[in-house]
Amino acid sequence: MSAGGRPTLAKLAGAAAGLAIVALASAVTRAVPGDPGFAGSVGAFGLLLVAGTALASALEPVGFPHLTAFLVAGSVMGPHVLGVVGHRAVEDLQVVNTLALALIALAGGAELRTAELRGALRGLGWATLWHNLVGVVGMAAVFFLVRPIVPFAAALPAAAAAGVGILWGVTAITRSPSATLGILAQTRARGPLASHTLNFVMTSDVVVVVALALALTGVRPLLEPGTGLSFEALGEMGHEILGSVALGTTLGLALVLYLKLVGRQVLLVLLALGLVFTQLFSWLRFEWLLIFIVAGFVVQNLSRQGPALLREVERAGEIVYVVFFATAGAHLDLPLLASLWPAALLLAGARASLAWGAQRISSRFADDPPAVRRLGFAGLVSQAGLALGIAAKVASEFPSFGAAFAALAVAVVSVNELAGPVLFKVALDRSGESAPAAEREAGAHPAAGESAGHRPR
């Protein structure tokens, strides 16, 4: 047997053992029904970790993305299939999801380097303009045209349907920083496509926040005849963005001082930030994801502590990220997806097609490299928490149709969550930017000055 075959066999053996544990847990769950309480949630954490890691290892030899493997493992383990992880456990593990999102945002901000942003400013600017313009207008038009097969929209008057379409367009321009960083970490990709996707996805949240405030202000007269324009949402938007940037800058500088002067127990500090400060910032009505992105950016670009921060985030993320994506898979409402699949597939397909068209247009203006021109849309298909957050906001603002709107968003995000990582990984492989398998094995723990998802060119 070749030396190169031994790691693969070892991974397959480990995957088989993990899947055997999951099968045993499934049998025990069926034999002993009932609510296991908090102990069941702790056990669910371990089982999702084992199942996600095992399936990712089993499918890695065929090039299957780890993120999608985690999602599939979670959906199979979740309440809608095997039921090993129940609804209560999924809800109890939301604290892990919050921690993971905080770490993802912090790492994403630390991946944004001013030198690279300056070099990519032209392409980033055109991409931001065209992807968001085409995304909002195009998806609003698509939603309006396909409303006969959307149960809650079929009977809406034309004006109201147009208003809902605009809200759907804003939901459609959200991206998934977590999926982007996860695929870049797995492939250790470097090159124009990886850099373009990372820069665009990590800076897009601010645009989405602004677009949502404008949309909520503009569509209310269409959805609630007799009401006038209210600019209260714009004031709230300014408060959220400016306050979040200020808090993020302060937090980043505090992290710089801690890393420079103390430099110990950094992992515990990051866990405290992710578990406690997210709740505090949310209670203060600030955008905590933006706060952590800005904090990571400050640490990377205003100090020499960026590599140290990324190493510590990676240490925490090795476990947390697996459970995060597996829990997201367990959250997927498969019966809902089955009932809404015609509209969900059509809207997801239209969104991907519009992203492809917008990328071709923006690349023509920006004179992007060929890989970005052809495949730049692939990393923009994934969606996750921000889209669902916008759907929840719409549901609270417009109770008459908001619940059905949120349900459709869950179905479409489910499709994009499963298909997006696969598409992005294929694009990185085809562009030649993914590191060879041997290099990925050797670089499982990046050296100083590098991160798992992005390395100096």
Q: How far is CA 356 from the centre of its chain?
A: 19
In a domain, 443, yes or no: no
Residues 225 and 340 in one domain: yes
Whether residue 243 is found in the same domain as residue 139: yes
Question: Within a domain: residue 446?
Answer: no
- pLDDT tens-digit map of 303-328: 888 888 888 887 776 677 777 778 77
Whether residues 222 and 351 share a domain: the answer is yes
| Residues 67 and 157 occupy one common structural domain | no
Enter the pTM of the model. Answer: 0.74
The CA distance from 68 to 417, in Å, is 8
Q: Mean of the per-residue pLDDT values for the chain?
A: 80
| CATH code of the domain covering residue 257 | 1.20.1530.20
Whether the pLDDT of residue 451 is over 80: the answer is: no
- Asked whether residue 295 falls in the same domain as residue 430, the answer is yes
Q: Of 101, 164, 184, 131, whose CA–CA distance to 389 is shortest?
A: 101
Whether 110 and 31 map to the same domain: the answer is: no
List the one residue out of 408, 361, 369, 356 whose CA is nearest residue 387: 408
Domain co-membership, 26 together with 111: no
**Confidence at residue 227, expressed as pLDDT on a 0 to 100 scale:** 65
Query: Is 236 part of any domain?
Result: yes
- Are 48 and 102 part of one and the same domain? no
In a domain, 447, yes or no: no
Last residue of a domain, one of 42, 70, 90: 90
On whether both 63 and 109 belong to a single domain, the answer is no
Q: Is residue 22 part of a domain?
A: yes
H or E element: which one contains 413? helix 402-431
Q: How confident is the model at residue 449 (pLDDT cuts 50, 70, 90)?
A: very low
The confidence band for 37, taking pLDDT boundaries of 50, 70 and 90, is low
Residue 249 shares a structural domain with residue 164: yes
Summarize the confidence of residues 41-68 as an average pLDDT.
76
Give the count of domains, the chain. 2
Q: Are residues 120 and 81 in the same domain?
A: no
Poorest-pLDDT segment among 251-255, 283-287, 397-401 = 283-287
| pLDDT for the residue 48 | 79
Q: Is residue 277 part of a domain?
A: yes
pLDDT band for 41, please (50, 70, 90 cuts): low
By C-alpha distance, which of 304, 289, 299 is closest to 253? 299
Q: pLDDT digits over 83-142, tens only?
A: 777 777 777 777 777 888 788 788 878 878 887 777 778 889 999 999 999 999 999 999
Name 442's Cβ contacts closer than 8 Å, sequence gap at least 6: none
Q: Is residue 456 part of a domain?
A: no
Structural domain contains residue 451: no
Higher pLDDT, 99 or 225: 99
Task: Determine the 3-state secondary structure of 81 from DSSP.
Answer: coil
Question: CA-to-CA distance for 209 and 230, rounded, in angstroms?
Answer: 17
- pLDDT at site 448: 32
64 and 103: one domain?
no
Which residues touch 397 (CB under 8 Å, ≥6 apart)?
216
The set of residues, in sequence order, having a beta carbon less than 8 Å from that of 302 and lying 6+ positions away, is: 252, 253, 256
pLDDT for 418 equals: 82
Nearest alpha carbon to residue 180 among 457, 451, 444, 456: 451
Give the range of the structural domain holding residue 76, as residue numbers without chain letter. 5-90
| pLDDT given for residue 105 in this prediction | 81
